[in-house]
Amino acid sequence: MTPLAARLQERRIHAFSVRVGHAPSDEPLPGGQRSLAHLRPHESARVVGYSPELPASHARRLFDLGFAPGADVYAVRRAPLLDPSIYRVADGQVALRRSLARHVLVDLS
Amino acid sequence: MSHHHGQSGARVAEGTRRFALVGSPNSGKTTLFNALTGLRAKTGNYPGVTVARYEGATTAGGDTVLIEDLPGTYSLDPISPDEVIVSEMVDAHESYDGRRPTPDGLVVLLDATALQRSLTLLTHVLHTELPTIVVLTFGDDLARRAGSVDAAGLSAALGLRVVPIVAGQRSSVTLLREALAEVEEWPAPAVLPPLEPSELGGWIRSVLTRASYRPPDVDARTQRIDAVLLHPVAGTAVFFATMFGFFQTIFTLAAPLQAYVEQLFGWLGGVASERIAVPWVADFVSEALIGGVGGVLVFLPQIALLFVLIAVLEGVGYLSRAAFLMDRVMGSAGLEGRSFVSLLSSVACAVPGIMATRSLPSERDRIATMMAAPLMTCAARLPVYVLLISMLVPADARFGPFGAQGAVMFGMYLLGAVSAMTAGWVFAKLGGRKQGAIPFYMEMPSYRFPRPATIAAAVWEACVAFVKKVGTIIMVTTVLLWALLNLPLQSDADLVAAGIDPADEVAVSSHVIEQSYAADVGRAISPVFEPLGFDWRINIGVLSSLAAREVFVATLGQVAAAENPDDPQAALAEMTVTSGPRTGEKLFTPPVVIALLVFFAYALQCMSTVGVLRRETGTWRWPLTAFGYLFVVAWVMAFLASRVAGAVT
């Protein structure tokens, strides 16, 4: 690993205490918390953090893709087979699978 | 190990400056690379990994400089082997035993329509503290979508030189060339941007403000097109229509072109054998040499067409949509949507199919798809299946409303597809355990008009790489198999002594095969194939099919022609076992034919596929793995199928 990659790996993106577990995606998480997977097409939300179950490397990649705490996300559409979904974030469109989206915790706006 | 200097790159003088292009996928990197290097790019592999390396020479201020197009990435915090390459290439703090010389400067592409995300990558790059210049792409797209950016303000905010580039505009590329010539004078930012996530947002906002950035409106054109192309009904219909057209093009349109190539080389071979007096030399030149070259070039129509289609679909932006639509289906096999195009192409031929795996961002998925692709029923299996099925099922047999022959053929296609998905699943699991799961994300780029120059470069590069790297392997195989099937030489005196009329070509060719080293090999390996019911004559056919599967039909025809030159097909059906406990019984019993069908469904009887696996993975490990695992599976499945068939009949 290069020194820069090591420094980038040390980045801590503030962890969130709400665990996603195996909660069904149509019900809110503990404390009424929602995730990106809860968003219906045409709904918007603001990213607040990631579930503690999400590997830290995945959280850092989502951050680098623009799914950063504070970012506004708009659910554009779902695939005909209902997964993955396209989200608009940081002026671009990115498709995420539900298995990843459910770890991105959001506030509905 | 350390003597791999520029193993894939151009040979250049010491001291030649090297620049690396860094940017996210869809940032216009490949277009810029082609504009700079034209058709002088070389591709290879990074040592030890299945990651393609693109490098090319260009001129800057009268000097030759090398440009390397690094794999697209959103971050220098790597999670895949491709991204590890980028990270190691650009981080100058460590030396990598000279195999990957650190570039003299980095060219970072910022997509003007996604500036916020592009700036995140730039912050990582700036921490390498290598000389860096910024290329601002898609300014025209930004303007179309009512956004704007002040390049001078961006330059001041970043403390870097910024070159706006409009695709297809020579003058802007000239500006970049001039800038490359004076890398010593590139400004560097006085203060490095923050890496800390909590500070990054503020830094990006301040840069965007100083650049008077007005973000683009939502791309209405893309939204309108997506509303149709990703619609549950309309989108699915368009998807299947596109894939049908795609498949038709590489299957149907390429076929006559391939026939022309074959005719041309058949004609050349004929001319050669007429002009050369010594029969065996004539035969060697016409069949092994000219036939071998033809055997390489016959793939080019398919490869060229496939890469035209892929380049167009990718350039337009549809490839990501197709992958989006198919992701869930492919996900059930542990693969992802982008593997679909590769597996579909493999129904025509695994060679272009395997080359198409380059569009997959994760090495794990690339390997899993490559290991699965040879199982798809390729065009070369068709003549083999037609021959075997006709020996198994009478032409007038019905299976409900369908002809039984067609139903069996459909079953073979289904067997191929199901086996490919299973193999993909297994190799994805094995690869995942080693590498850890990579999260799936895929950018949906705006629809754009593809640039003809980019398409031409992609097609040219694929064809050149194929001829150079795979051509050798096909040539060697062809020559080797010719030698096995034709040596030792039979003089006219030998033939007369064996009771063969030297003027009777059919009898001569059968006799030559029976006395050949291939026949010795066929007999020597008979213990291996004995349990499947194959005799030494079938073994010769299996051996010769390594050059190309359809050769099996011709070889068996030659063997059978000895017994009944007027109707080899009937002779095959009547052929009897000549030795062992089954002596006198029919050779091609239903269990044997079924075993052959199943064997050909699985076995990697194609040295061209082996060659392209070597070329695409950069190591012998994967072609050998594929050949080995497919042979074992083929043998076991053929054995089981013949036992089941034997029990039923």
Q: Which of A27-31, B135-139, B543-547, B558-562 has the highest mean pLDDT?
A: B135-139
Which residues on B lie below 8 Å from A64 (Cβ)?
Answer: 74-75, 77, 117, 120-121
Residues B573 and B529 both lie in one domain: yes
Q: How confident is the model at residue B49 (pLDDT cuts 50, 70, 90)?
A: low
Verify that B243 and B162 share a domain, yes or no: no
Question: Is the minimum CB–CB distance between B100 and chain A shorter than 8 Å?
Answer: no
Confidence grade of residue B1 (pLDDT, cut at 50, 70, 90): very low
Q: What is the model's pLDDT at position B435? A: 58
Q: How many domains does chain B have?
A: 3
User: Is B463 part of a structural domain of the chain?
Assistant: no
Res. B9: pLDDT tops 50: no
B175 close to B32: Cβ distance less than 8 angstroms = no
- Please indicate, yes or no, whether residues B454 and B530 belong to a single structural domain of this protein: no
pLDDT top residue among B578 and B201: B201
Q: Which residue is closest to B84 within chain A, CA to CA?
A: A1
Instruction: Assign B2 a pLDDT band (cuts: 50, 70, 90).
Output: very low
**Residue range B563-584: mean pLDDT, rounded:** 69
Instruction: Look at residue A39 in the predicted model and tell me its pLDDT.
Output: 92
Question: Does ipTM surpass 0.95 in this model?
Answer: no
pLDDT of res. B324: 93
CA distance to partner chain B, nearest, from residue A29 (Å): 22
Instruction: Report the residue from A8, A69, A79 with minimal CB separation from B195.
Output: A8
B25/B66 same-domain check:
yes
pLDDT score, position B237? 94
Calpha distance B516→B518 (Å, rounded): 5
- Examine residue B430 and state whether it is found in any structural domain, yes or no: no
**Interchain contact, B128 vs A77, CB within 8 Å:** no
Comparing B468 with B173, the larger pLDDT belongs to: B173
Q: How far is A44 from chain B (nearest CA, A)?
A: 14
Question: Closest Cα of chain B to A2: distance in Å?
Answer: 6
Which residues on B lie below 8 Å from A2 (Cβ)? 87-88, 91, 93-94
CA B629 to chain centre: 19
pLDDT given at position B8 = 40
User: Worst-scoring range by mean pLDDT, B19-33, B386-400, B514-528, B548-562?
Assistant: B548-562
Contact B201 A70 (CB under 8 A): yes
For residue B222, list chain A residues with Cβ-Cβ distance below 8 A. 93
Look at B113 and B314; give whichever has higher pLDDT: B113
Judgement on whether residues B49 and B197 belong to the same structural domain of the protein: yes
- Average pLDDT of span B374-399: 83
| Nearest CA-CA distance, residue B614 and chain A, Å | 27
> Residue B534's pLDDT band (boundaries 50, 70, 90)?
confident
User: Which of B358, B380, B377 has the alpha carbon at shortest distance from B369?
Assistant: B358
Q: Are residues B190 and B49 in the same domain?
A: yes
For B418-449, how does the pLDDT look when each residue is reduced to its tens digit (9 = 90+)?
A: 999 999 999 988 877 665 567 888 999 999 98
Instruction: Name the residue among B78, B324, B441 with its Cβ closest to that of A65.
Output: B441
Q: Is residue B115 part of a domain?
A: yes
Q: Are B212 and B243 part of one and the same domain? A: no
Size of interface A-B (CB pairs under 8 A): 137
Domain match, B133 and B170 both: yes
User: Any CB–CB contact under 8 A between B91 and chain A?
Assistant: yes
Interchain proximity A100–B439, CB inside 8 Å: yes
B149: DSSP letter = -
* Boundary of a domain, candidates B191, B217, B243: B217
- Set of chain B residues whose Cβ sits within 8 Å of the Cβ of A73: none
Contact B184, B130 (CB under 8 A): no
Is B127 in Cβ contact with A65 (below 8 Å)? Answer: no
Task: Give B314-365 pLDDT, tens digit per residue.
Answer: 889 898 899 899 899 888 888 888 888 788 878 877 887 898 887 787 788 8
Q: Could B200 and A68 be called an inter-chain contact, meaning their C-beta atoms sit closer than 8 Å?
A: yes
Whether B120 and A64 lie within 8 Å, measured CB to CB: yes
My answer on whether B307 and B336 are in the same domain is yes
Q: Which domains does chain A have, with CATH numbers?
A: 3-22+29-108 (2.30.30.90)
**Going by C-beta distance under 8 Å and a sequence separation of 6 or more, which residues neighbour residue B38?**
B56, B58, B457
In chain B, pLDDT over 70 holds for what percent of residues? 91
Residue B616 maps to a domain: no
Structure confidence at residue B45 (pLDDT): 67
Based on the fold, state whether residues B168 and B229 are members of the same structural domain. Answer: no
pLDDT band at B413 (very low <50, low <70, confident <90, very high): confident
- Tell me if chain A has a CB within 8 Å of the CB of B89: no
A78 → chain B, closest CA residue: B230
pLDDT-derived band at B22 (thresholds 50, 70, 90) equals very high
Residue A16 Cα, gap to closest chain B Cα (Å): 15
pLDDT(B48) > 70 = no
**Residue B46 vs residue B314, higher pLDDT:** B314
Q: Are strands B17-22 and B63-69 parallel, antiparallel or unpaired?
A: parallel
Q: Between chains, do A4 and B128 touch, taking CB under 8 Å as contact?
A: yes
Give B174→chain A minimum CA distance, Å: 29
Q: Is B226 an 8 Å CB contact of chain A? A: yes
Q: Which of B74, B91, B93 sits opposite A64 (nearest CB)?
A: B74
CA distance A30 to chain B (A): 25
Confidence band, pLDDT 50/70/90 cuts, at residue B207 = very high
- Does a structural domain hold residue B381? no
Least Cα distance to A18 among A6, A33, A5 occurs for: A33
Question: What are the DSSP calls for B580-613, one per residue?
Answer: STTTTSBSS-HHHHHHHHHHHHHS---HHHHHHH
Average pLDDT, chain B: 84
Asked if B230 and B149 sit in the same domain, the reply is no
* Domain housing B577: 487-587
The pLDDT value recorded for residue B229 is: 95
Q: Between residues B649 and A26, which one has the greater pLDDT?
A: B649
DSSP A82: S
Task: Determine the residue among A1, A2, A11, A60 to mutate to test chain B binding: the one whose Cβ has the most chain B Cβ atoms within 10 Å.
Answer: A2
Last residue of a domain, one of B192, B217, B242: B217
Q: At B368, phi and psi to the nearest 5?
A: -60, -40
Lowest mean pLDDT across B22-36, B200-214, B242-256: B242-256
On whether residue B634 sits in a domain, the answer given is no
Asked if the bond preceding A84 is cis, omega within 30° of 0, the reply is: yes
B267: in domain: yes
Of B165, B183, B217, which residue sits at a domain end? Answer: B217
pLDDT tens for each residue of B225-260: 999 999 999 999 999 888 888 777 766 787 788 888
Q: Can you list the pairs that B429-435 forms with residues at least 24 positions away whose Cβ atoms lie under 8 Å?
A: B429/B334, B431/B363, B431/B364, B431/B367, B431/B368, B432/B334, B432/B364, B435/B81, B435/B363, B435/B364
Q: Please compute the mean of the pLDDT values over residues B218-231 and round it to a whole number.
A: 94
Q: Is the pLDDT of residue B480 over 70?
A: yes
Closest C-alpha to B419, from B629, B619, B246:
B629
Res. B6 pLDDT band, cuts 50 70 90: very low
The overall pTM is greater than 0.90: no
Of A81-90, B284-293, B427-436, B531-540, the one with minimum mean pLDDT is B427-436
- Residue A3 and residue B94: Cβ atoms within 8 Å? yes
- For residue A97, list chain B residues with Cβ-Cβ distance below 8 A: 327, 331, 440
B509 with B577, same domain? yes
CATH value at residue B32: 3.40.50.300
CB A72 within 8 A of CB A46: yes
- B144 has a pLDDT exceeding 50: yes
**Distance in Å, alpha carbon of A33 to nearest chain B alpha carbon:** 22
Task: Test A84 with B442 for CB contact under 8 angstroms.
Answer: yes
Weakly modelled stretches of chain A, pLDDT under 50: none
Distance CA B466, CA B351 (A): 9
Residues of B in contact with A75 (CB under 8 A): none
B148 touches chain A (CB under 8 A): no
* Cis ω before B193 (30° cut-off from 0): no
What percentage of chain B has pLDDT greater than the value 90? 33
Torsion of CA B64, B68, B74, B78, to 10 degrees: -130
Judge whether B556 lies within some domain. yes
* pLDDT of amino acid A75: 96
Task: Name the residue with higher pLDDT: B269 or B374.
Answer: B374
Amino acid B10: pLDDT: 43
